[in-house]
Amino acid sequence: MMGEKNSALIVIDMQLGPIWGTYKQEETMKVIRQMISKAEAEKIDIFYIQYEDPQSDVLKKGTQFWQFAPGITPRKQDVIIPKQAADSFYQTLLHDELKKRGITHLTVVGVRTEYCIDTTCRAALSLGYQVTLIEDGHTTVDDTLTAEQIIKHHNTNLSKVSTPHSKLVVIPSNEYNY
């Protein structure tokens, strides 16, 4: 993995609304909190992506379900990036903030696997970032497939996605070092 100056942890949509009813919620939240603690201890930049929907009563900025989930507590030095689309880069300051800090490698955790996690990982690759998705650090809800199938499908498929200059690696949290 790249050195600490080049890496950042991206925590996507860990809010009361998006996390509600997700598969293996407690286990996934534990992994994400561990990844946050590890990043804090190693002085890795942490970016919290916070979804907001001005048209929704549920995820409107300031509402209960818009708030971060218990145990997800950004510090003063962390960066909170509001977004209104599945892609954490779309019309946000994320790319600019990462560039400003010279970050070239992103470690991704959060919710929902098939929307915001997938879209953000692919967008990051297209922007030239090296990406590590934490295999047990993202979750979703049952849909056309079960949440377990969705997660397994995305872990498998995303591990095969790359560009000529960027790679997406999927590994479990217990094997990951910043």
- pLDDT per residue over 91-125, tens digit each? 999 999 999 999 999 999 999 999 999 999 999 99
Output the CA–CA distances (angstroms, integers) from residue 69 to 73, 93, 94, 110, 161, in the order listed. Answer: 8, 23, 21, 11, 30
Question: Residue 3's pLDDT is what?
Answer: 39
- The three-state secondary structure class of 177 is coil
Q: How many CB atoms lie within 10 A of CB 155?
A: 18
- Asked if residues 140 and 150 have their Cβ atoms less than 8 Å apart, the reply is yes
Total count of domains within the chain: 1
Q: What contacts 24+ positions apart, CB below 8 Å, involve 33-37? A: 33/71, 33/72, 34/173, 35/9, 35/11, 35/107, 35/109, 35/134, 35/137, 35/173, 35/176, 36/9, 36/11, 36/72
CATH label of the domain that carries residue 131: 3.40.50.850
Instruction: Write down the pLDDT at residue 5.
Output: 54
Q: Which residue range(s) make up the domain with 25?
A: 4-175
Report, as ranges of residue numbers, the positions in the chain whose pLDDT lies below 70. Answer: 1-5
What is the value of pTM for the model shown?
A: 0.96
Whole-number pLDDT of residue 58? 87
pLDDT score, position 2:
37
- 106: helix, strand or coil: strand
In three-state secondary structure terms, 150 is helix
